[in-house]
Amino acid sequence: MNKETILEQINVIGRDVFDDESIVLSESTTANEVEDWDSITHVQLLFSIEKQFGIKFTSAEIAKFKNIGEIVACILSK
């Protein structure tokens, strides 16, 4: 699976979690740029990504995520 495919799937998840069909998440997108990205939807997003890709993020990994690109990179590394 390549970076583009992962980003595409994260966008599908993001539209569902943030309840916004128009949302476009890029590698540089941060939580501050998405209106409904808060402490609760953050965990919902990560759980949904874990389920979609069949992976688990560690607490250390979660603490380091600064943007979508870092999540994508972490998925690729697993």
Residues 27-66 touching another protein, rule: CB under 8 A, are: 36, 38-44, 46-47, 56, 59, 62
Report helix, strand or coil for 78.
coil
In 3D space, the residue among 45, 57, 60 whose CA is nearest the CA of residue 9 turns out to be 45
Q: Supply the minimum distance, in Å, between the C-beta of residue 4 and another protein.
A: 27
Whose tokens are 């759980």? That residue is: 47
Task: By CB under 8 A, tell whether 8 contacts another protein.
Answer: no
Q: Which residues bind another protein (CB under 8 A)?
A: 19, 36, 38-44, 46-47, 56, 59, 62
